[in-house]
Amino acid sequence: MPYVSIRVAGKLSKEQKQNISKGVTDVIAREANKPPESILIFIDEVPHENIAKAGKLLQEPK
Protein backbone atom coordinates (compact mmCIF):
# COMPACT_ATOMS: atom_id res chain seq x y z
CA MET A 1 0.00 0.00 0.00
CA PRO A 2 1.73 3.22 -1.12
CA TYR A 3 1.63 6.00 1.44
CA VAL A 4 2.29 9.58 0.34
CA SER A 5 2.76 12.48 2.74
CA ILE A 6 2.57 16.01 1.34
CA ARG A 7 3.29 19.05 3.49
CA VAL A 8 2.45 22.52 2.28
CA ALA A 9 3.00 25.96 3.74
CA GLY A 10 -0.36 27.58 4.35
CA LYS A 11 -3.81 26.44 3.29
CA LEU A 12 -5.11 24.83 0.12
CA SER A 13 -8.67 24.84 -1.08
CA LYS A 14 -10.63 21.59 -1.16
CA GLU A 15 -10.44 21.70 -4.97
CA GLN A 16 -6.64 22.08 -4.89
CA LYS A 17 -6.32 19.12 -2.52
CA GLN A 18 -8.61 17.04 -4.75
CA ASN A 19 -6.57 17.88 -7.86
CA ILE A 20 -3.26 17.14 -6.13
CA SER A 21 -4.60 13.85 -4.78
CA LYS A 22 -5.87 12.79 -8.20
CA GLY A 23 -2.61 13.67 -9.95
CA VAL A 24 -0.39 11.95 -7.40
CA THR A 25 -2.62 8.87 -7.37
CA ASP A 26 -2.57 8.67 -11.17
CA VAL A 27 1.24 8.86 -11.32
CA ILE A 28 1.82 6.26 -8.59
CA ALA A 29 -0.80 3.90 -10.01
CA ARG A 30 0.75 4.15 -13.47
CA GLU A 31 4.45 4.12 -12.56
CA ALA A 32 4.35 1.67 -9.64
CA ASN A 33 1.61 -0.49 -11.15
CA LYS A 34 -0.52 -0.19 -8.01
CA PRO A 35 -4.32 -0.07 -7.86
CA PRO A 36 -5.56 3.48 -7.14
CA GLU A 37 -7.66 2.27 -4.20
CA SER A 38 -4.49 1.10 -2.44
CA ILE A 39 -2.85 4.55 -2.47
CA LEU A 40 -3.14 6.71 0.66
CA ILE A 41 -2.33 10.42 0.52
CA PHE A 42 -2.05 12.68 3.54
CA ILE A 43 -1.90 16.44 3.05
CA ASP A 44 -0.60 18.44 6.00
CA GLU A 45 -1.17 22.18 5.92
CA VAL A 46 1.48 23.86 8.03
CA PRO A 47 1.33 27.51 9.12
CA HIS A 48 4.09 29.58 7.52
CA GLU A 49 5.37 30.57 10.95
CA ASN A 50 6.14 26.90 11.67
CA ILE A 51 8.56 26.61 8.74
CA ALA A 52 12.02 28.14 8.52
CA LYS A 53 14.37 28.46 5.56
CA ALA A 54 17.98 29.61 5.95
CA GLY A 55 17.31 30.22 9.64
CA LYS A 56 14.36 32.55 9.06
CA LEU A 57 10.67 31.86 9.49
CA LEU A 58 8.64 31.97 6.29
CA GLN A 59 6.37 34.94 5.78
CA GLU A 60 2.78 34.38 4.78
CA PRO A 61 2.19 35.57 1.20
CA LYS A 62 0.26 38.80 0.89
pLDDT in tens, 12-60: 999 999 999 999 999 999 999 999 999 999 999 999 999 999 999 999 8
For residue 16, what is the enclosing H or E element? helix 14-32
C-alpha dihedral (35, 38, 25, 43), degrees to nearest 10: 180
For residue 11, tell me if it sits in a domain: yes
pLDDT value at position 57? 93
Q: Looking at this protein, which amino acid is placed at residue 26? A: D
pLDDT value at position 10? 95
Tell me how many domains the chain contains.
1
For residue 62, tell me if it sits in a domain: no
Residue 22: alpha-carbon gap to chain centroid: 11
Per the structure, the complete domain to which residue 25 belongs is given by 3-57
Q: Looking at this protein, which amino acid is placed at residue 20? A: I
pTM: 0.85
pLDDT value at position 51? 95
